[in-house]
Each structure stands twice: as structure tokens, then as C-alpha cells.
Structure 1
């Protein structure tokens, strides 16, 4: 289907409002979509929560909105919470908050090792377990491929011992794609975490197809382009394709664009606001765009 005719923008805005109002009620009652982790067969809800910057908060009243963010995630059917020692007090905040939230046992907690050397890596991961107040981490990742050979060997041992459920690697720069591709080809990975957004699609060329080929689950961070993409769209009307997908916000449409790629397992946008978490989670319900719809979303964004 071709991109929407921009001369019909006024009509499409009216139609979008009418259709979205009808669709939202039906979609809200639907469970969050899930996708399968190829290596283990476990299914994951497609929208989770990242904690970079947003959860780096000292103990006290400032953490209460974060508790509500996690409650909102669980109420919507989500489970994935991603952190890192790199994120300041985020691991500590997640650990403290989860202990007081109903349903915390179903959380799929992911974090990372971000140091050099075997013993330093083990010490850091033990500290993460303590801060997160977990006996087992569902996913441990080598952050930005730092000393990945050393840490993957440890992670394989920890997985065999049941200390972690899955292992993976992460990176966020296009300049690292050659190295990331080499690791994905050489190693048995459960996950790869990358950045992917409407305005940052470099991973479509090699990384996402390779993940599908190798049976590697994909976590996507920065699906809003680090925030700049969403801010730039704030005052623009939604295109007609949004109503067809049941989207009532640009955030939902951007997340559905990412989730429309079949290699993507879960998106983990970060937020400290419960209302934003609810809005993000809504993208995990209802239809996802096919390739033609994704082209229409891209065209609407490029049209300005």
C-alpha cells in the first residue's frame, strides 16, 4: 500500500480519531503480545522497561513514581526490566522496589557485566545479584562487548549452574557492528541488545537479519531515538496508519514500528513516569505493522 496522500491529512486526522476511539477500547482488553526466545522457547511480553538514567534515584520519596512504573508494567502484562552497573543506583532501585510490589516474582530481570578481567567480572555480577535482591538473573549481558571473551566464558558457567537463565551481549554504536556481527556468528548467544528506532535503522542491514538467522533474541533500547525523535514529533498529528494499528500516540506508533520487525523480541524504553509506561505498554497490544505499514510510517515521518 502506498504512503498516505498528504493532501488528505485533515480527513485522515478525523478518521484516525474515530477509529482509534473504537479500537482503543477493544485493544485495552487484550493481553500483551509475546514473542519466543529462540534458544529456550520461553515467551516474553514485547514491551518492557529500561532503567538508564530514569531509575538512578536515591532512596526516599523520589522512588515512589518508579514503583508505580513497575506496577503499571506488570498490570499491563509486561515483565522485562533491564539495568546495568553502569546506570548508577538503578540496580539498587530495581531491587528495592521489586520487593514491595505484587507480581514481582514474574519479573524478567536483565542486567550486565561492565568491567575487565574474570575476577572483577565475577565480583561485579555478585554485587548485581545483591543489589537486585535476586538469587538468579534471567539475563546477564556483556555490556558494549567489554572484555567479552572473558565474560562469556564465565556466563556459560553461571548458566550451567543456574545462576542466570540467559546470556547475551550489547552495543549501541553503528561503528561496533562489525565486532558485534563477529561475536554473533562465533558464539552461542541467547540475546543481543541493540538500539533501533525509526530514525536509527542501521541494524536492519546486518544485525537483525543475523539475529533471526542465528536464533538470537533481540532486546531494543532507545526505540525513541534517545528521546529526540519523540520530542520532535510531539506537535505533529498522527498519520492515518496509526488508527489502523490502534495507536493513540506517537510513542505507541514508534514502538509498533520497531516491534513490526520480526527479529525484535522486546522493546525496553526507559521512563520514570507511570503514565508514559502505560502508554508504552499499549503498543504491545493489538496489531503490529507489516512491511507495507512500516513503509507508510517511515514515509509519514520523512514527510515532516
Structure 2
């Protein structure tokens, strides 16, 4: 496992880390015993960074990570998020009162005195133009409730605005083979400012795992069923914003590029790691087998220039016309 610096925190985190959305909910049925086994296996394999949110299973994901802290002695970092509990989810809701209440709830769920890393959870674009919100985060850090803070964003433009605030240590953004725009400008700016990058949905909601087909079915509470058109939250969170059939067609072309000894998922994660501005990818893991496959990507050889060029061509033909300008 390789470790990279996360912003100016002084932390070095595993380049392939653990996304804990799936063990909370909206990815179909979950089993806490299986989730805990996956978390333990991640620690066994050198993972030291876990990403969650207060709304993942209404705190279920955070509470599982609290259990992990009690059951293991190894130190690790937990990033959580706040904001999506608002109903309606509007910029005005990002007030001192609400953010403080969200932080206190996450502190209880995680069983800690200070949150390692708090991220605004894909707030409305207007929030990035409200310096008072980032002032509240500064105050929470000064009060010892939050060690560091960052943002989780939908759009490159939001990330570029967010990193103008000096306290922002990290940007979490969708970055994968089907969503390549962050590499154009954002990564140069995050490197210049010393801001970490967390690449979420590295497997494009499972498309890049290579196991989905046109006949695959999803549970009613799985966002891959209910959010394809953006009914629950931003459409870009599901299959990277691609129509399912378009994604499947691109995956078929990608299969031919998978190096010997790799799986498609491992190639997709390796591709992300070849961008030095990315601190880590955070693939979702529900089972120990998922953990083992994903984490093995950290130790596999780099992709060849020819493979990288071929991946770029597939993006240009299949995904770029649909997603590049939007996010």
C-alpha cells in the first residue's frame, strides 16, 4: 500500500481507502456483520482512511466505524460530512446552529471528542460564495470539535471556489474513467494550494467493476434504481451521470484493455492513482472480497502509455459529450 499526504494535515493516507456509503444504505441490503468484516479486512490490508457521512443509513455507517475503533488498536482517520440532513436542502440551512448540531451528532455517532475531517456534503453552489459558512467551520476547529475540514462537491467550479478559503484541506469529487474533467485544471490548483483530493465513485456506481449487465436489477432503495434521472440527489452521483446503456457499451470496450493479472475494477483504480494530485480513491466496499480486490490495485503495476491513450479515447467518444460540460 502506498501512502500520500492529505493536504496540509500532516497525515499520510492509503492511496486506496474505504468509502463507507454502501455500508450505510441506498446500495441495496446491508448486513452489519458483513460490513464489520469488510472494515476489519481493510485495516488488515493497510487502509488508514475511511470516508462516511451522517446521512449514510441515518448514522449507521458512522456508528459502524465507532465500533471499529473499539475493536482495533491501529490508528486510522475518519472523514465524515454534514449538510444533507437539511430538509429542504438549501443554502440558508448552512447556519451556525445547524452545522454545530450536525457536528455534535456525528461526534456522538463516532464516539470521539473531535472529528478528524469534516466535509460540507455537496451543498448548493451558493454556499461556496458564503464566507460566513467557512467562518463557522474555522470556529468549530478553534473550539476543538473539528481537527480539519474540507468540501465534497458536485462540480469542478465549486471545488475551484472552495479552495480559495484557506482552511479547506481537501476536496472530494467524482473522478474516474468516465469523469475526467477534474484533471484539466482543478488538480493543478489543488497541488498549488496544498489541498488533498479524494476521488469518490472510482468505479462509477459499479459500472467499472465490470459485473453489471443490461439485465442487472437493483433494489428499490438502491440509488442505481431510483436516482438515474436525479430523483433523489444529483444525477451525476449515479453511474457518473451516464445513461446506463452508454456506460455498459463503454465498459465492453474497456474490457479489452485490462492488463493480465488485473480486473477491470483494479485497472480503474490504478488509473486514478496514476494522477499524482489525487490523494486517494475511496471505492465503496460492502464485503471483505470487495476490499481485497480493490486494495490489491495499490500494489499492481502502472498502466502503459498505450493503455492510458486508449482509455482517453473511450472517454472522448462515450462519456465526454454527456458529462464533461455539466460537472
Q: TM-score, normalised by structure 1?
A: 0.76
**Partner Cα distance (1:169, 1:67) in 2:** 27
1:302–1:206 distance in 2 versus 1, CA, 3 Å: closer
Q: Please, what is the CA RMSD of the aligned residues?
A: 2.8
Q: What is the CA–CA distance in structure 1 between the aligned matches of 2:66 and 2:53, rounded to whole Å?
A: 15
Query: What whole-Å deviation, never above 9, does each CA across 1:143-166 have from its counterpart, x for those lacking one?
Result: 113545344222222333443232
Match in the other structure for 2:100 = 122
Q: Does 1:220 align with 2:199?
A: yes
Map of 2:71 onto structure 1: 101
1:139 aligns with 2:121: no
Aligned with 1:197 (options 165, 173, 176): 176
Is the 8 Å Cα contact of residues 49 and 78 (structure 2) preserved in structure 1?
A: yes
Q: Does 1:182 align with 2:199?
A: no
Counterpart-to-counterpart distance in 1, 2:271 and 2:104? 37
Judging changes above 3 Å, is the alpha-carbon distance between structure 1 residues 235 and 69 closer, same or farther for their aligned structure 2 residues?
A: farther
Would the aligned equivalents of 2:175 and 2:199 in 1 still touch at CA under 8 Å?
yes
SS at match of 2:164: helix
Please, which runs of 5 or more residues in structure 1 have no aligned partner? 1-31
Cα 1:122–1:237, aligned 2, differ >3 Å: closer, same or farther?
Answer: closer
Distance 1:54 1:235 in 2: 28
SS in 1 for 2:101: helix
14, 18, 26: which one aligns with 1:49: 18
- As a proportion of its length, which structure holds more helix? 1
Could you say which residue in structure 2 is the equivalent of 1:242? 259
Structure 2: segments with no counterpart, 5+ residues: 87-92, 213-247, 319-327
Does residue 211 (structure 1) correspond to residue 211 (structure 2)? The answer is no
The DSSP-based 3-state class of the residue aligned with 2:116 is strand
| Deviation at residue 37 of structure 1 after TM alignment | 2.0
Q: Are the aligned partners of 2:6 and 2:13 in contact in 1 as well (CA < 8 Å)?
A: yes
Q: CA deviation at 1:292?
A: 5.7
In the other structure, the counterpart of 1:82 is 51
Whichever of the two has the greater Rg, that structure is 1
| 1:255 and 2:269 matched | yes
1:265 aligns with 2:243: no
1:167 counterpart = 2:137: no
Alpha carbons 1:167, 1:189 under 8 Å: kept: yes
Matched-pair contact (CA < 8 Å) for 1:110–1:138: yes
Preserved contact between residue 142 and residue 151 of structure 1 (Cα < 8 Å): no
Number of the residue aligned with 2:221: none
Contact 1:135 1:163 in 2 (8 A): yes
Match of 1:40 in 2: 9
Rate the CA distance shift 1:150–1:91 in 2: closer, same or farther, 3 A.
farther
d(CA) in 1 for partners of 2:307 and 2:279? Answer: 19
Deviation at 1:45, TM superposition (A): 0.8
| Distance of aligned partners of 1:186 and 1:126 in 2 relative to their CA distance in 1, 3 Å threshold | closer
Residue 109 of structure 1 aligns to a residue whose secondary structure is strand
Contact 1:79/1:107 (<8 A) preserved: yes
Residue 271 and residue 241 in structure 1: after superposition, are their counterparts in 2 closer, same or farther (change >3 A)? closer
Report deviation, 1:48: 1.2
What's the CA shift for 1:302?
Answer: 7.9
Aligned length: 263
